[in-house]
Amino acid sequence: MGHSNDHNQQRSSSTRIIINEATPLYRPHRYPPCSRRCSGLAALACLAFGLLRPAAAADRKPPPVKPATQYAAFETHATEHVTIAAEPCDEPKNCSFFRLEYVQHGFIPVRVTITNDGDTPLSLDDARFQFISANNDKIPAATDEEINRRLFSTKSAMGTRIPMIPITIHHAPVDKKVTQDDTDFGFNGTVVSPHTTLAGYLFYDVRGLDDPALKHAELYVKMIHSADHKQELFAFTIPFDTWLAANPSAPSNTSRK
């Protein structure tokens, strides 16, 4: 396990931090759905947002969760009895169960799967899941608010002005489909019980990275603790090249430029 400390020191020299790495994994929803805030003409704006939704998304479910060792890209810490896998989606049709078109808007959804084969529960309260690019860019998972800003226009976020009527109808800061996807497909808790597997999708903003963003990139996971916080696990490094090799037809194997 000694290599993990050297790895941490290498990561500290990251050339650029996109977003503050203190972004928490679990984010309680602070805003009510749009449908609870909008009425009348404003409902038309909510309906318009639905155009971004892929066909039949409501009828689709993500693939069943498997133990982390059954995915193409994973790392196992044998002495800690923990395995973490990373399964990205760079092809919209392969994650069409989402309500919104994240891939088309510059995000890479990554399903992170954590299998705890030990006898001690694990806490993800302080965990950091960072996308490390080939150029050593350090990108934490996007928040609901950051996703919302990318997918929806500033005009919509600021409210709708009704012509000839001196009032503005304000929409919810975060569209309900963003929070619904987080609820349905994100982590449903921050504790990984003994001999169980916990999984959830995280979204990484890769629009500013060299294309293809997954090539020579990796998922770097740190600050996972035992539930009593007496032990911190060594950091995990999961290379996406392993996933690309197992998926030769994936778009990220070829530059789109």
User: Higher-confidence residue: 205 or 38?
Assistant: 205
pLDDT value at 5 more than 50: no
Rounded to whole angstroms, the Cα distance separating 84 from 174 reads: 30
pLDDT confidence of residue 23: 47
- pLDDT bin (cut points 50, 70, 90) of residue 169 is low
In tens, the pLDDT along 56-101 reads 444 568 999 999 999 999 999 999 999 999 999 999 999 999 999 9
The greatest distance separating any two alpha carbons of the chain, rounded to the nearest whole angstrom, comes to 69
CATH topology of domain 2-247: Immunoglobulin-like (2.60.40)
Per-residue HEC secondary structure of the chain comes to CHHHHHHHHHHCCCCEECCCCCCCCCCCCCCCCHHHHCCCHHHHHHHHHHHHCCCCHHHCCCCCCCCHHHCCCEEEECCCCEEEEEEECCCHHHHCCCCCCCHHHCEEEEEEEEEECCCCCEECCCCEEEEECCCCEEEECCCHHHHHHHHCCHHHHHCEECCCCCCEECCCCCCHHHHHHHHHHCCCCCEECCCEEEEEEEEEECCCCCCCCCCCCEEEEECCEECCCCCECCCEEEEHHHHHHHCCCCHHHCCCC
In tens, the pLDDT along 185-225 reads 999 999 999 999 999 999 999 999 998 999 999 999 999 99
Write down the mean pLDDT value for the chain.
80
Indicate whether this model's pTM tops 0.85.
no
